[in-house]
Amino acid sequence: MGKKITVDSATLFNKGLEVIEAHYLFGADYDNIDIVIHPQSIIHSMVETQDSSVLGQLGWPDMRLPILYTLSWPDRIHCSEITWPRLDLCKLGSLTFKAPDNVKYPSMDLAYAAGRAGGTMTGVLSAANEKAVEMFIDEKISYLDIFKVVERTCDAHRNDLVANPSLEEIVHYDLWARKYAADLQPSSALNPVPA
């Protein structure tokens, strides 16, 4: 899916962004959205119902299936075994799960905080992440600087946060976040702001 998604997967920003997506798509409170690390990447989502049963969506770790589902909604398209191999759970072996390491991957805490702040903060987080990843790919910052650039950009936006932004304000703060993130030099991203 490209360099951006690869880096987002490595930093787990993809998981944090998915939390924000789940909040907006399903109206779920952030306290009711949990991130679970599943190394096999077979279970793509799970929803716990009122009776505590869990419904899951399983499939190969390939974006073609969600794209096919999106294009064919509300129907399902038949795929032959030649074009799309069936998911054979017996051949998969074990499916494992673990809690994320929020210390090693602060991206998830940043995303939850941005989501809870709401308004323009989620767009600022996303734009700052995109710019930080671009700078990492261009070898202008280190891997660990990605987290710091995003955090510094979100912190700088706190006083200007717009709770119920217009489209123009969303676009304005998206562009602002990209510029602010780009202007952070590696040394300023690494070091905290002096008190």
pLDDT in tens, 36-67: 999 998 998 888 899 999 999 888 888 787 78
Q: What is the CATH number of the domain that holds 127?
A: 1.10.1740.10
Question: 35: which 2 tokens?
Answer: 């991130």
Predicted local distance difference test score (pLDDT) of residue 195: 45
The answer as to whether 145 is a domain residue is yes
Query: What does the alpha-carbon distance between residue 79 and residue 82 come to, in Å, rounded to a whole number?
Result: 8
The answer as to whether 20 is a domain residue is no
In this structure, of 79-88, 144-153, 164-173, the range with the lowest mean pLDDT score is 79-88
Write the CA distances from 173 to 134, 156, 187, integer angstroms.
18, 11, 24
Q: pLDDT tens across 2-29, in order?
A: 899 899 999 999 999 999 999 999 999 9
Q: Domain tally for the chain?
A: 2
Query: What does the alpha-carbon distance between residue 152 and residue 163 come to, in Å, rounded to a whole number?
Result: 20
The answer as to whether 21 is a domain residue is no
Question: 148 and 78 in one domain?
Answer: no
The answer as to whether 137 is a domain residue is yes
pTM, entire model? 0.84
The answer as to whether 19 is a domain residue is no
Query: What does the alpha-carbon distance between residue 191 and residue 194 come to, in Å, rounded to a whole number?
Result: 9
The answer as to whether 78 is a domain residue is yes
Which domain does 122 fall in, by range? 102-183
Question: 173 and 147 in one domain?
Answer: yes
Predicted local distance difference test score (pLDDT) of residue 44: 85
Question: 108 and 70 in one domain?
Answer: no
Query: What does the alpha-carbon distance between residue 83 and residue 98 come to, in Å, rounded to a whole number?
Result: 32
Q: pLDDT tens across 74-118, in order?
A: 998 888 877 788 888 888 889 999 999 999 999 999 999 999 999
Query: What does the alpha-carbon distance between residue 142 and residue 132 come to, in Å, rounded to a whole number?
Result: 9
Side chain identity, residue 116 = R
Question: 165 and 150 in one domain?
Answer: yes
Structural domain ending residue among the three candidates 69, 97, 125: 97
Residue 190 scores a pLDDT above 80: no
